[in-house]
Structure 1
Amino acid sequence: MKTHSKKQGLLWFIALLLLFIAVSYFAYQPKPEIYPSYVTVSPSPTGVKALYTYLKKEKEVKSWIHSPDLLPKEKHNQLLVMVGPAFTPEKKWMQQYINFMEAGNTILLMQTNPKGMFNIETDYIQRGSSQSDKWTKVKDENGKTYRAEVDSDIRIRTVKNDDILLSDQSGAIAAKRAYGKGQLIMAITPQWMTNEKLLKKDHLPLSFLLLKQGKADSILFDEYIHGGENESSILTVYPKWFLVLILQGILLVVLWLWYKGKRFGPLLSPREEWVRYSDEKIQAIAAWYLRGRRYQDSLRVQADYVKLLLQEQWQIPYSKDWQDLSPYFERKWLKMPANEIQTFLGGIAAILNQDKINQQEYLLWSRKLEELRNEVES
C-alpha cells in the first residue's frame, strides 16, 4: 500500500513538472533583437532593410562592412550610400572616402546634420508657423513639387558650383558637389529611407531621385559607419604631440601644487587644542589679540579665568590679590616649594600691573598660568 502511494505521488510530481515546462515554453517570449538605426539587416522601423532588399533585386547591391581604405577604387560608377552615420570618421578615413570619389565614384551621404564631414557647412533655421505642418513642400531642380517630412532644423550651405537637388522655402535639403571624376550627394533626410517612413508621402520617389544621381552600376551600403567599435577615440582624434603636451601639463600642475601645498590629506589637530578652541568665536578673539599685539589684555583674561577656577576648586576668594594667596597655595599646591610659590605669585602680580609686555614675556607667563590651571583642574 505504501509502495503504491509513493508511485502515485511520484507520477503526480512528474506530471506537474511536465506541465510547468510546457507552460514556460509556450509563455516564453524572447526579447526582440535590438538593431542600430539605418542598418541594412534591421527590420525595425529605424532600419533600411526594405529599401536594401528591393534594390538588391534590381541591380548589384552589397553591404560594405570594411574600413574606407579598402573601398574598390579601381572600379568606376559605384555608389556608396552612407545613411545616418553613427559617428564622424577621423581625418585619415575621410580622405579615403574622398579618394574613392575622385576615382570616379559617388557617395550619397544622408545625415541630419552633415557638418564636419567632407567640409560641409550648414545653417540653422527657425521654423515659422507655416512650417509647423508635418509635411513640407519640397522642390527638385526642375521645379517639381513633392510632399515629404523634413524634421531637421539644418539646411545645407552651398558653395560655388554646387547643384541644389532638393529644397524648400528655408534652403537646400539636398545638394551635389563634384570631387575629381566623382561626386558627393548630401541630404539632411536619412529618415526617408527607413522602413517606417519609406512609403509615406513622396519619400520613395525622393529616395530614388537621390540614388539615381550617380548613375551607378553597383551600390554599396556603408555599414562601417554604424559600428561603435569603429568610432574615433580621444587617442585617434587628437595628434600624439598634443596628447603628450596635455599629459606633461597635468604632471607639471600636480608637481606645482605639491611644491606650493604644505601637506596633502587631512589636517589632524591635537585633541586638547580642538577641545579648547573648537568655538569659532574663541578663535576669532584669539586672532584679534595676536594681530593687535594685545598681549597684556590676553594675559589678564587668562589670569582672571584661573582665579575663577581657584575659587571653584580650591575655595580661594576671588577678591584676594595674587600676592596674598601664598598661604592658600602652600596648603593646596603641595608639589611646589614655598619659596617658589612666593616667587611665582610675586611675578604674576608684577607682570599684570605692567601697562605693556612683549611677546616673550607673554609666552612665559601664559605657560605658567596654564601649568597652574592644570594643577587646579587635576
Structure 2
Amino acid sequence: MQTLFSNKRKWIVLSLLILIIMISSYVISSEKPKNYPSYVSHSPSPTGVKAFYTYLDKEVGSVSRWSLPPNLLPKDEANQLVVMLEPSVTPNSDEMNEYIEFMEAGNTILLFQENPRDIFDLAIHFQAVAESDNQLIIGQDGREYESDLHPVVFFQPNEEDEVLLHNQAGLAVALKRQYGNGQLIVANNPNWMLNEHILSADHLPLLITLFNKIDANKIYFNEYIHGEQDTSIFNVYPKWFLLLIIQGSILICLLLWIRGKRFGFSMIPREEMVRFSDERIRALASWHLKSQRYHDSLQIQADYVKLLLQERWGISYNRSWLEIEDSLERKWRNVSKPMIHQFVTELSNLLNEEKISKYDYVLWSKKLEQLRKEVEEG
C-alpha cells in the first residue's frame, strides 16, 4: 500500500513539473513577436497582406492559400485565379511552363511585382517619376486614382497586350496578356496590397479595379513563391493512393488479428521469475510433509549441509559423515569432541534407515539447521 502511494506521488510530481515547463515555455515564447515574411497572406504585420486576404474571403468566400508546386495546380478546371505577390523565389523554366499551361486551360494569374524582368517574358523599362504627394493613375474608362507610392519600373506592352492602368505620362502600370483561353494580368506595385498601405490614397479601389477584370470561381494566394511549401503526405500523394494505403493497413491488421498475432508487450512466464524461489522450496517441503517422506527430506538437508562444508570448510562432500568426524572436530570448535562423535554416529544411523519418524525428522532438521548457520557464519 505504501509503495502504491509512493508511485502515485511520483506521477503527481512529474505531471506538475511537465505542466510548469509547458506554461513557462508558452509564456517565454509568447513574449517574443513572431517574424513574418513580406507579402504573405497570413501575415498581420505591416508588410503582410492578411487584411486584403480577409476582405476577399468575406466578399468572395472561395479564397485559399496555395503552397504546392505549380505542376499540381488543377488544370482540369477553368475560371480560377492565382495571385502572385512579389515572388521571393523566381520560378524556373519548368515552373514557368506549368503556370502558362494553367493559364491556357482558361485560368488567370494576377502578378504584382516591382521588377518582373525574368518572368513571363515581360518587357520593362526604367523611368524616374517626380515624387509628389500623390501620383495620378488612370484606368481604361478614364477614371483617375491617386497613389502615394512611386515605382520606377514600367511595362512596355506589345501589340497584343491590353493596358489596364497607366500614369499621366502614359507609362503602363498594369497590363493584360492573353494565354490560350486564360490571361495574365500584371501590375508593377505590390505595395498597394500591404497592410500598411492598403487604406492609403486610392490603393484599395485600384486593387478592386484589377480584380473586377477577372471572373473567377476560386482564388488562390500563391505562397509557394515565398518559399512556403506544403509537403504533407495528404497533399504530395493522390487521394486514391492514400485511400489504398489506409485500406491496406486496416486489412493487414485484421489478418494479423485473425491469425492470433499479439500486439503490445509480451508477458514473461511467472515460473521464470519465481523458479527455485522461497515459494518453490516451501511447496517442496509441504509435499514432503504431507507425503510423510521424512527420510528423503532429511537426506536432502544433510546433502546440502555437506555441500556447504565443502565450500566453506574444505571438507570433502564425497566422504561419509563418519569419515569427516576428524575434520569436523578441527573446524566445529563450539562443540566438544564427544558431542561431534555422537552427532555423526546418530545421523549416519538415521540416514541408513528406510523410514524415520516425524519426531526424529524435526529433531535432526533443527540440528542440521544449526550446523548450517554456523558453517555459513564462519
Distance 1:79 1:28, change over 3 A: closer
Per-residue Cα deviation, 1:77-119 (whole angstroms, up to 9, x for no partner) = 1110001111211000011000000000000000001111000
Distance 1:29 1:153, change over 3 A: same
> Secondary structure of the equivalent of 2:33?
coil
Distance 1:147 1:44, change over 3 A: same
Are 2:138 and 2:168, in contact at CA under 8 Å, matched by a contact in 1? no
Tell me how far apart the structure 1 counterparts of residues 161 and 149 of structure 2 sit (CA, whole Å).
21
> Secondary structure of the equivalent of 2:31?
coil
- The aligned residue for residue 205 of structure 2 is 205
Tell me how far apart the structure 2 counterparts of residues 217 and 195 of structure 1 sit (CA, whole Å).
25
- The aligned residue for residue 222 of structure 1 is 222
Amino acid at match of 2:58: K
Structure 1 residue 48 displacement after superposition: 0.5
Structure 1 residue 142 displacement after superposition: 1.1
Of 95, 99, 104, the match for 1:97: 99
Are 2:131 and 2:150, in contact at CA under 8 Å, matched by a contact in 1? no
The percent identity for this pair of structures is 45
Are 1:62 and 1:221, in contact at CA under 8 Å, matched by a contact in 2? yes
- The aligned residue for residue 87 of structure 1 is 89
> Secondary structure of the equivalent of 2:184?
strand
- The aligned residue for residue 151 of structure 2 is 152
Structure 1 residue 27 displacement after superposition: 10
Are 1:86 and 1:228, in contact at CA under 8 Å, matched by a contact in 2? no
Distance 1:206 1:41, change over 3 A: same
Per-residue Cα deviation, 1:303-327 (whole angstroms, up to 9, x for no partner) = xxxxxxxxxxxxxxxxxxxxxxxxx
- The aligned residue for residue 39 of structure 1 is 40
> Secondary structure of the equivalent of 2:225?
helix
Distance 1:29 1:169, change over 3 A: same
Are 1:155 and 1:172, in contact at CA under 8 Å, matched by a contact in 2? yes
Tell me how far apart the structure 1 counterparts of residues 183 and 29 of structure 2 sit (CA, whole Å).
51
Amino acid at match of 2:50: K
Are 1:176 and 1:184, in contact at CA under 8 Å, matched by a contact in 2? yes
Matches within 5 A, 1:66-85: 66-85=68-87
Amino acid at match of 2:42: V
Structure 1 residue runs of 5 or longer lacking an equivalent are 1-24, 231-378
Distance 1:134 1:67, change over 3 A: farther
Structure 1 residue 150 displacement after superposition: 3.3
Distance 1:177 1:26, change over 3 A: closer
Of 91, 106, 109, the match for 2:108: 106
Amino acid at match of 2:74: P
Q: Count matched residues.
A: 206
> Secondary structure of the equivalent of 2:115?
coil
Amino acid at match of 1:182: G
- The aligned residue for residue 266 of structure 1 is none
Q: Considering only CA atoms, is the larger Rg found in Structure 1 or Structure 2?
A: 2
TM-score (norm 2): 0.52
Matches within 5 A, 1:1-378: 30-59=31-60, 60-127=62-129, 131-170=130-169, 171-227=171-227
Tell me how far apart the structure 2 counterparts of residues 69 and 28 of structure 1 sit (CA, whole Å).
37
Structure 1 residue 215 displacement after superposition: 1.1
Tell me how far apart the structure 1 counterparts of residues 212 and 168 of structure 2 sit (CA, whole Å).
24
Amino acid at match of 2:116: P
Are 1:49 and 1:195, in contact at CA under 8 Å, matched by a contact in 2? yes
Tell me how far apart the structure 2 counterparts of residues 134 and 142 of structure 1 sit (CA, whole Å).
24
Structure 1 residue 57 displacement after superposition: 1.5
Distance 1:48 1:90, change over 3 A: same
Structure 1 residue 228 displacement after superposition: 7.0
Regions of 4+ moved over 3 Å: 25-29
Provide the alpha-carbon RMSD of the alignment. Answer: 2.4
Structure 2 residue runs of 5 or longer lacking an equivalent are 1-25, 231-378
- The aligned residue for residue 302 of structure 1 is none
Distance 1:80 1:28, change over 3 A: closer
Are 2:79 and 2:217, in contact at CA under 8 Å, matched by a contact in 1? yes
Distance 1:187 1:27, change over 3 A: closer
Tell me how far apart the structure 2 counterparts of residues 47 and 27 of structure 1 sit (CA, whole Å).
25
Tell me how far apart the structure 1 counterparts of residues 37 and 120 of structure 2 sit (CA, whole Å).
24
> Secondary structure of the equivalent of 2:96?
helix
TM-score (norm 1): 0.52
Structure 1 residue 149 displacement after superposition: 2.8
Distance 1:91 1:135, change over 3 A: same
Distance 1:33 1:228, change over 3 A: same
